[in-house]
Amino acid sequence: MTTSAIIQFNNVTKNYDNNPPILDEVSFKIERGKFYTLLGPSGCGKTTILRLIAGFTEATSGEIYFNGKKINHIPANKRQVNTVFQDYALFPHLNVYENVAFGLRIKKMKKQAIDAKVKEALSFVNLHGYEEREIKNMSGGQRQRVAIARAIVNEPEVILLDEPLSALDLKLRYQMQYELRELQRRLGITFIFVTHDQEEALAMSDEIFVINKGKIQQSGTPNDIYDEPINRFVADFIGESNIVKGTMIADNLVEFGGKRFACVDRGMDPNEPVEVVIRPEDMEITTEENGMLNVTVDSQLFRGVHYEIGGRDQEGNEWLVQSTKKSVVGEKIGLRFDPESIHVMRFNETEEDFDRRLDSYSEEEANGK
């Protein structure tokens, strides 16, 4: 199985001087040909992982493997990876063509080969005909494409992208999300994308690593991470969520907001204190009599596609609901939701324990049916 892992981190720690570590004993594997996203708030250590892979910085301890070979001390210019930088880092004294050709010229490639490759790379990013332009005469989106062309022209096995879309405006950002995903499919090489934008991560990735405080909190497909966040941080960081305190009464039965609800989570201790997550879009507004949980509306905002309604239940928990129906501030409304919409999280559960617990009862279910 290790053959498909192109990059592997074993207990990698990075700290500067005697400060607390930026990366704390991080281990993971990256498989060939997939689109990975390192997602987390600023300062969480995601860019440090990228810089370690690129070779701009060295790990304090732990091993980094590339294609099965340890690369801890190999300098950046000898690594088979290329980076697209947040500020693009295009050389201002060179034009578009020379920027893209930079890496090939370093390799002392023949003129004709360079010419063919640069033209091909530029057409790949829809910049055919821009060869002679100066960088300062290019728009943000165009610079972005030049930066990508400059990376892919070297045919690296891995491309690292350090928040490359953060400087673009919203429309262009959406467009580039499609283009990047499409580009990765066409090239078939590994992309490692760093972002703090959870929407971007969910939209583009095969696999997401959610990182906080120098540790990988959770890794998995966008669906897994959205639907089954491992802890409060992940639930809060990815998407909008209602997180309330509750008690796991027994398997498939949880208590919160002063009531008991059927749920699909199992494997916890009886009467264990837990946190409960329900996504705002999974709740439906109904009348007070029909509601499973009743709240008093205290705010309402019109968001275009829906209303965002905020309210409090009798225990004082805040609830956020997305609804196409309007309600009135000060009124009491009822909320309805399915057992599948309730997600229960244990306190301080590690990713391994979390996976093991989930696997145990999904296997049970499979066997039962």
Site residues, other proteins (CB under 8 A) = 54-56, 75-78, 81-83, 85-87, 89-95, 102-103, 106-107, 132-134, 136-137, 150, 154
Q: Which is nearer to other proteins, 82 or 219 (CB)?
A: 82
What's the closest the beta carbon of residue 197 comes to other proteins, in angstroms?
A: 20
Helix (H) or strand (E) holding 363: helix 351-368
Least distance (Å) between residue 150 CB and other proteins: 7
Q: How far apart are CA 52 and CA 71, in angstroms?
A: 10
Whether the Cβ atoms of residue 172 and residue 149 lie closer than 8 Å to each other: no
CA angle 138, 161, 62 (to 5 degrees): 150
Return the number of the residue (11 or 126) whose C-beta is nearest other proteins: 126
Residue 272: CB minimum distance to other proteins, A? 48
Strand arrangement of the beta sheet that strand 332-336 belongs to: 284-286, 332-336, 293-302, 307-312, 318-323
Residue 139: CB minimum distance to other proteins, A: 14
Q: Which is nearer to other proteins, 75 or 140 (CB)?
A: 75
CB of residue 245 to other proteins, shortest distance in Å: 44
Q: Which is nearer to other proteins, 98 or 281 (CB)?
A: 98
Phi, psi of 323 (to 5 degrees): -145, 150
Query: Cβ of residue 81: shortest distance to other proteins, in angstroms?
Result: 8
Q: Looking at beta carbons only, is 91 or 178 nearer to other proteins?
A: 91
CB of 212 to other proteins, least distance (A): 25
In b/e form, how buried is each residue of 275-300, taking b as 16+ CB within 10 angstroms?
Answer: bbbbbbebbbbeeeeebebbbebeeb
In the bound state with other proteins, the residue whose beta carbon lies nearer, of 59 and 335, is 59
| DSSP string across 45-79 | SHHHHHHHHHTSS--SEEEEEETTEE-TT--GGGS
Element holding 237 (H helix, E strand) = helix 232-237
**Nearer of residues 94 and 358 to other proteins, judged by Cβ:** 94
Ranges assigned E (strand) in 303-341:
307-312, 318-323, 332-336
In the structure encoding, which two tokens stand for residue 79, read together?
């690594």
- C-alpha 25/C-alpha 14 separation (Å) is 8
